[in-house]
Amino acid sequence: MTAPHARPDASSLLTAVRSRDPLAIARAITAIENRTSTGNELAVAVRGQVNGCRTLGVTGPPGAGKSSLINALVQEMLPHYPRTAILTVDPSSPISGGAVLGDRVRMAEHSANPNVFIRSLATRGHLGGVTRMTRSVMDLLAAGGMDLVIVETVGTGQSELEVAELTNVKIVVNAPGLGDEMQAIKAGVLEIADILVVNKSDLPDAARTAAHLNAMLHHRGHDEHRSVVCVSTVTRDGLKALADAIEIKFAQLAADSTLAVPRTASARLLLARAVADRAEDMIARTVDPRIDVLVEDIAAGLLSRQDGARTAIGLLGELRPVSNARD
């Protein structure tokens, strides 16, 4: 059988992406996510493009209503951002590597709108709430003419903070009844929020949850400029207020160019993470017998993981480079 996905080279794919061909955009994202050689070339070619558009991160615990909120919010924001992309991330199974990507079920309102491009991504073992290649995919979407890119993370706990480095404005979605003041003052995902959202405000506990979050903000004193917004996608209460609050944050970015660069991003941190990713790949997939010996010793309890890691780092430079996924 002939492959109808005749693999176009990176430059013809990029031309089609720039002309906003949705299928080309989709296939380019696949190539980038699969880290094929075409994908790597594309990622390099579009690097930094995302700085030309607005980016919004949406995070929060599983079931908080992130997907439904995005579905409702996009309707409010579309007049200002005619071409909007949504990346929605769900976890891959650590056992099979497969995934059920179900966020789109909540976004059916926009399925038929050619100006809303939605793509579901699986984490494929990457921690941090997004995928390893999310930044490059965002660059590509910007190259495809998107005005706004929304990134929905996996349902997060307290430490999936990578979205903070990827997006200009972050909203953290909370559901009523999860936790008390103690949860609200813990370090983690609440700290990266530009706007705290209490979703499902039609439910009885919403006011209490909002009060806990407001109390946390109050504790932080005069330097704290963030706000809590209560919304309901059922009654549509608060959606306009949330869209306005996001607009204000975007406007502040434009006024203060130093904020346009995500503030926690540091090249050193990004390098460290890329090194760790690459090292993980090499150790997991190499066939070098010296690594096999370390693995067996650790499995047999003869060697501690820390000592094994020290030896393995010494060997990294000598391992055969691991080939990426095929095109």
Partner 1 sequence: MQDNAPNPRVLLTKSFIDSHDRAIATIALALRDAAMEVVLIDYEQPEDVVTVALQEDVDIIGLSFMSGGQVETTQKIVAELKRRGVDDLPLVVGGVIRPFDVPPLEEAGVREIFRGGAPLADVVATFQRLAKAYRGYA
Binding mask 141-180 toward partner 1 (x if CB under 8 A, else -) reads: ----------------------------------------
Which element (helix H / strand E) includes 293?
helix 289-299
Q: Which is nearer to partner 1, 8 or 179 (CB)?
A: 8
Nearest residue to 70 via CA among 86, 82, 81: 86
- At residue 233, what is the residue type? T
β-pairing verdict for 148-152 and 227-230: unpaired
Minimum gap (Å) between residue 244 Cβ and partner 1: 29
Contacting partner 1 within 29-68 (CB under 8 A): 29-30, 34-35
Residue 36: CB atoms within 10 Å: 18
- The nearest distance, CB 152 to partner 1, in angstroms, is 14
Is 183 near partner 1 (CB under 8 A)? no
Cβ nearer to partner 1, comparing 95 with 287: 95
Site track for partner 1 across 267-306, x = CB under 8 A? ------------------x---------------------
Return the C-alpha torsion angle 102, 127, 57, 65, nearest 10: 40
Q: Return the closest-CA partner of residue 312 out of 298, 300, 323, 302.
A: 298
Q: Candidates 25-33, 43-51, 72-80, 160-168: pick the segment binding partner 1 (CB under 8 A).
A: 25-33
In sequence order, the β-bridge partners of residue 172 are: 59, 196
4 binds partner 1 (CB under 8 A): yes
| Residue 304 token pair | 């501690």
Query: Which residue, 96 or 257, has its beta carbon nearer to partner 1?
Result: 96
Tokens of 270: 């990004």
Whichever of 101 and 316 has its CB closer to partner 1, that residue is 101
Of 121 and 229, nearer to partner 1 (C-beta) is 121
Please state the closest distance from residue 307 (CB atom) to partner 1, in A: 26
- In whole angstroms, give the CA distance from residue 46 to residue 141: 9
- Per-residue mark of binding to partner 1, 118-137 (x: CB under 8 A): xxx-x-xx------------
Q: What are 116's strand-pairing partners?
A: 84
Q: Which one of residues 18, 26, 205, 309 is an interface residue with partner 1 (CB under 8 A)?
A: 26
Q: Is the dihedral of CA 233, 237, 240, 241 positive or negative?
A: negative
Query: Taking the CA atoms of the chain, what radius of gyration do you get in angstroms?
Result: 22
User: Cβ of residue 97: shortest distance to partner 1, in angstroms?
Assistant: 4
CB hemisphere CA count around 124 (13 angstroms): 13
| Residues 102-121, interacting with partner 1 (CB under 8 A) | 102, 104-105, 108, 111-112, 114, 117-120
Which residues make Cβ contacts (< 8 Å) with residue 144, sequence separation at least 6? 17, 18, 20, 24, 25, 85, 117
Strands (E) in 199-293, as ranges, are 227-230
Q: Which stretch binds partner 1 (CB under 8 A): 23-31, 239-247, 260-268, 306-314?
A: 23-31
Near partner 1 by CB under 8 A: residue from 52, 82, 97, 157: 97
